[in-house]
Amino acid sequence: MDDTYPPSQAIILLSTHLHKRSDHEDSARRRVARWLADGQDHILGVAEARLKRLRPPESHGVVGSDV
């Protein structure tokens, strides 16, 4: 059985869990937003690394450049 959730449902579940543990709903929302931003940064980093591996070496910079 697949234990993954669609992103919207995962956000709701995480927000509900944090709200139960937090005294303030705003605090829970900030935590969710921070975790989502961290996850997005990680995903973008992985995508950039894969894209660099797919590009031919000539496209990484100007050939003959001393920079």
Domain boundaries defined on the chain:
7-55
HSE of 46 in the Cβ direction (CA atoms, 13 Å)? Answer: 6
Q: Is 48 a residue whose pLDDT tops 80?
A: yes
Entry pTM: 0.35
How high is the pLDDT of residue 23? 57
Separation of first and last alpha carbons in the chain: 52
What's the distance, CA 34 to chain centroid?
Answer: 10
Provide the 8-state DSSP code for 33. H
How high is the pLDDT of residue 35? 80
How high is the pLDDT of residue 1? 46
Note the pLDDT tens digit of each residue in 5-42: 666 777 777 766 665 555 566 777 777 788 888 888 88
Higher pLDDT, 14 or 49: 49
